[in-house]
A and B are shown apart, each in its own frame.
Chain A
Amino acid sequence: MQLDAKIPEGPLEEKWDRHKASMQLVNPANKRKFRLLMVGSGLAGGAGAASLAELGYEVECFCFQDSPRRAHSIAAQGGINAAKNYQNDGDSVRRLFYDTIKGGDFRAREANVYRLAQISTNIIDQCVAQGVPFAREYGGTLANRSFGGVLVQRTFYARGQTGQQLLLGCYQALSRQIELGKVRMHPNTELLDVVVVDGRARGIVTRHLRTGKIECHAGDAVLLATGGYANVFYLSTNAKGCNVTAAYRAYKRGAGFANPCFTQIHPTGIPPHGEHMSKTTLMSESLRNDGRVWVPKQAGDRRPAREIPTEERDYYLERIYPSYGNLVPRDVASRAAKRMCDLGHGVGPGGLGVNLDFADAIARMGKAEVASRYGNLFQMYQKIKGEDPYETPMVMYPAPHYTMGGLWVDYNLMSTIPGLFVLGEANFSDHGANRLGASALMQGLADGYFVIPYTIGDYLARSGSSGVGTEHAEFASVRRSVEERIQTFLDIGGERSPDSFHQQLGKLVWDDCGMSRNAEGLNAAIEKLPAIREEFWQNLRVLGRGEELNQSLEKAGRVADFLEFAELLCRDALAREESCGGHFREEHQTPEGEALRNDEDFCHVSVWEHQGEDEPPVMHKEPLEFESIHLATRSYK
């Protein structure tokens, strides 16, 4: 596997401009001769599909939901970052770049992150032009707030529904192109495999989730914008349908998988309760703008929060990290919460929770102002927990939320399979070992609106038209394997549901490869996984038929891929003998329990190459070179 990141020459500030100027172009009249297959309709996929169609390409867009408007980007709450410096508080492209690199614990590619920071400002312009109703000041200008890991106010937001409003902007742009006939939308359609012919991605095989129809689609390029894999933990803040299948299928067809162990555990999730729980719910990081995090000073203190006097409370984030306080990055906040709970200071059922308290904010600015900023989040919390956060603190515990790892891509967002591009959360490129709040929306839209429209043109101009149609033998062969796999699921006739395997897997991965990891646990997990897989293939029960809406069958396919993928995740976590960002190896920590990086040996991207069904994967390294900033110990104190 050749890993050429294709980072353009020249100073960091000029790389993207130089690259744009040197890329080959496709004649506007020739663009309609290229057919592009976009899988996913979230911020990256929706923005990409719409923008490519506007340029004149023929786009086919696929999503498993019943409408592209329901992609999981919709659930993002807090906001989107951009280096606009509208607040005059010292923000700049350079600062956003630096914050993101540092936030990612120096495990992201400099050139990609710099481009992201540059593009961030265009995104806000584009979204406003589309009619995204961002929050505004009385003078009519855009409002900002702060997110974790930064000391400026650069986050744009639309109440607690920023992801929804940005996605609706994309969805509307996409709808316009559908109406114009430039995008053919395939809702209720799930990718089940990627077709590679002569080393190039030439198409996909899909299943229509309502009719069960298996279809082949050929294109000049395949673009995956299929999101992350946090559902490998079963309980996560991701939507129930989020899955690793597209990325994992591509991996098995030859795409390198980068840094799978970089998973983000978000500090403010609603703690799990009971066996029946089907997912965790996130409470936006924006709450940490005004909410204060604390636990009782006395371990085992079970008094209700309001009965514990201030001097007996430990506002531990403010105490340990005075300069960032409650707004430390997510990995830092999550680990601190876990540490407090492990020491017996946790609150709520099982002692697995910390208080997020708004009493001071309410006293300072009044209940009405707090409600105007966070009303919908408070309402959501109250519905789930049956407790009123205006009266009593929220109880929070970290929850799997986002995955920084993903398919390896070069500067042009192309994977190791030529013609296979990967956008948004599905790729690995911009967040290193930890993503800062309000940066996922930024990256998804950057990739979709402003990167892929340029870089794909260069690929198409150089490679020319594919000339491979669905009549090619490889399509028939992949289609057959997809059909056989579906039939196998239906024929096993065992005892257990796909969900029960998913739950079992999730617990294992959470325990051994969750917020903190060690070699012993990871080795044990790698040993246990084959047995779970074996039982899955012998004891699975999927009722119903393949030629109709069959939600168990959908789950079976996704769980089967998670069961294999989990091993890759654990292997990567085992190989990375350092702690950085969201990846915390217990063997590598400072005396204060902070992550201890090892730049000497691990300043690289780990890229895994599939070797066949019974062979362990091989790891390749893309060294990370920092020319513009020097590697520093990450401190938020």
Chain B
Amino acid sequence: MNLTLKVWRQKSSREPGRLETFPARDVSPDMSFLELLDLVNEELQGQGVEPIAFEHDCREGICGSCSLMVNGRAHGPETGTTVCQLHMRSFKDGDTITVEPWRSSAFPVVKDLVVDRSSFDRIIQKGGYVSVNTGSAVDANAILIPKRDAESAMDAAACIGCGACVAACPNGAAMLFVAAKINHLVHLPQGRIERATRARAMVAQMDQEGFGHCTNYYECEAACPKEISVENIARMNREFLKASFSAQ
């Protein structure tokens, strides 16, 4: 296949960026989207042009590093897929593909397609954990957890922290990310002890980072590579409301 790529290039957060056009020739349908960028970068370097910076690591859809808007959609056209797991067989010969970084003011561009997602870490630091020190655990089977609860916790815990939910949301809300962690922990007895403080602190940090609010577009769920349900957001709102009425 031969394709045309329009790629966002930006030297740094202080300089304006723009879309630049690059041809991609002899693209195999078995290539992943990131291997396509590898190919383009190899060509660019040959021509003395600085390669396109983009985040990636595991290339197996689990580390959450890759973060590209492909034709205006977070992680591209396939559902339940990170862009590293998107293959070129999803495109056809002659296509023009636009590649941009995550769109959100809470994720400032570092360079080209790389953004700063440290806000996510700061939200988790506010309470996305069970406060238990190493060594003070009871026997694992002393905490019985109904299979259904364990499964629900796992559904939420599958979040890879990529930020697609934010990038896809017209409001730039991080509700799905925050809700996933709150629900992972609240489904488990170990996580319920700190539920109120956790919900308050994580939501407060989310607001402070400049993320928008949820107005039920459901774009986050559609973009989520792990298909985490927006039901989590409803449950988080309930958690937050209950927490707001509970003693500090």
Contact = CB atoms under 8 A, between A and B. Distances in A.
Interface string A418-458: 00000000000000000000000000000001100100000
B57 A552 contact: no
B30 A161 contact: no
Contacts of B50: 543-544
Nearest to B156: A133
Given A75-B60, A281-B60, A499-B38, A139 B144 contact: yes
A164 B48 contact: no
A136 B150 contact: yes
Interface in B105-156: 110-111, 114, 116-118, 120-121, 124-126, 128-141, 143-147, 150, 153-154
A131 interface: yes
Given A172-B128, A175-B128, A240-B57, A66 B51 contact: no
A274 B133 CA distance: 48
Given A136-B145, A544-B50, A176 B150 contact: no
A131 B57 CA distance: 26
Contacts of B51: 543, 551-552
A173 B127 CA distance: 10
A20 to B, nearest CB: 12
Contact of A276 (B38, B55, B86, B150): B38
Contacts of A217: none
A170 B138 CA distance: 18
A17 interface: no
The 4 closest A-B pairs by CB, nearest first: A140-B144, A172-B129, A129-B137, A125-B137
Contacts of A384: 32, 85, 87
Given A164-B158, A383-B81, A499-B42, 12 more contacts: A72-B58, A74-B62, A128-B143, A130-B190, A141-B141, A164-B62, A187-B121, A239-B57, A274-B31, A380-B85, A497-B45, A549-B111
Interface in A163-197: 163-165, 168, 171-173, 175-176, 178-179, 185, 187
B178 to A, nearest CB: 14
Contacts of A278: 32, 34-35, 38, 59
Nearest to B201: A179
Interface string B38-76: 110110011011110101111111111100000000000
B137 A122 contact: yes
Interface string A254-293: 0000000000000000000110111101100000000000
Max chain B CB contacts within 10 Å: which of A70, A185, A282?
Answer: A70
Nearest to B150: A136
Q: Chain B: interface residue count, which band?
A: 35 or more
Contacts of A127: 140
Contacts of A273: 30
Contacts of B56: 240
Interface string A35-63: 00000000000010011001000000000
A390 B32 CA distance: 22
Contacts of A129: 130, 132, 136-138, 143, 190
A70 B65 contact: yes
Q: Chain A: interface residue count, which band?
A: 35 or more
Contacts of A450: 134-135
Interface string A531-570: 0000000000101100011011000000000000000000
A240 B59 contact: yes
B53 A551 contact: yes
B216 interface: no
A460 to B, nearest CB: 18
B87 A386 contact: yes
A335 B154 CA distance: 36
B215 to A, nearest CB: 28
B208 interface: no
A586 B55 CA distance: 41
A384 B30 CA distance: 8
A4 interface: no
Nearest to B141: A141
A463 interface: no
B217 to A, nearest CB: 26
B76 to A, nearest CB: 12
A54 B134 contact: yes
A23 to B, nearest CB: 15
B125 A179 contact: yes
26 contacts: A65-B57, A66-B117, A68-B121, A69-B124, A70-B58, A70-B63, A72-B58, A75-B58, A124-B140, A125-B138, A127-B140, A128-B140, A129-B130, A130-B132, A131-B184, A131-B190, A131-B191, A137-B147, A142-B140, A164-B62, A171-B124, A179-B125, A274-B31, A278-B38, A278-B59, A380-B61
A549 to B, nearest CB: 5
A140 B147 contact: yes
Interface string A468-499: 00000000000000000000000000010101
Interface in B182-224: 184-185, 187-188, 190-191
B77 interface: no
Max chain A CB contacts within 10 Å: which of B86, B120, B130?
Answer: B130
A210 interface: yes
A17 to B, nearest CB: 15
A51 B133 CA distance: 7
A279 B80 contact: no
A179 B121 CA distance: 10
A281 B167 CA distance: 27
Nearest to A185: B121
A518 interface: no
Contacts of A386: 30, 87, 89
A266 to B, nearest CB: 13
